[in-house]
Amino acid sequence: MEIFENIGAALPLKDQVYNQLKLQIILGNLEPGTRLSMLELADSMNVSRAPVREALSMLSKDGLVTITPRKQAVVADVSKNSIKMIGEIRLMLESYAAKQSTWTIPSERLLEVETMLRKVLDTPTDVISYVKSDLAIHELLYNYTGCDLLRDILTMVKQHSLRIRYLPEDKALNKSEIVIQSTQEHLEIINSLKKRNETEVYNAIKHHLENSNTRALSTPE
């Protein structure tokens, strides 16, 4: 598995392995149905099997990996029904969270995320930057709601929606066009937040999530 780099010392090993595997699954480098050999992963990442085992267990809880009865790990499939369901959940909860956080997100955080988004428009082929900017703006919407329960629920939903969010980008013929469209929608959300206009914020995130769900559901099999 040449897509992995040797891991250095920073986070605990299990978290480093978890983060790398999750990113590769999100980006489609590890496709649905791919068998994840613990031994091969450990060799590729230059770690022992223990952190790989823990990381696979964490990914299983996220719904990104399926553990078979024979204890084999396989990248989980994504059905049209799950795409539709997760999209509807996000539409309800994130729209509400965005409205609640309109007045509480610090202006400097809005500027930081806006800068990330504009860099994506300059280089729409940089998928990693796109993923980071996407996560950054959606995390803004629920980290400042003032409600720990809502934040925790949305954090859990996010884990299940990560792959769905990037399915169209993985399979579309014109990935850059979709990246640009999605990022422009993100900038509309930022602009509404900068105005501190709850109605505009609600409508902007609702518009983006509806489009995102449509893009995901129209992804070719």
Angle between helices 127-143 and 175-195 (to 10 degrees): 30
Distance linking the first and last C-alpha atoms of the chain: 25
Architecture label for domain 80-217:
Up-down Bundle (1.20)
Same fold, 13-75 and 80-217: no
Q: What are the residue ranges spanned by the domains of the chain?
A: 13-75, 80-217
What is the per-residue pLDDT for 154? 87
Model confidence pLDDT, tens digit, residues 117-171 = 999 999 998 888 888 898 899 889 889 998 999 988 887 787 667 677 665 555 5
Q: Distance (Å, rounded) from C-alpha 18 to C-alpha 129?
A: 19
Please give the structure tokens belonging to residue 201: 């914020």
Name the nearest CA neighbour of 64 among 39, 36, 101.
Answer: 36
**Confidence (pTM):** 0.74
- Percentage of the chain beyond pLDDT 70 is 88
Fold for the domain defined by 13-75: Arc Repressor Mutant, subunit A (1.10.10)
Q: Report which of residues 76 and 26 the model is more confident about.
A: 76
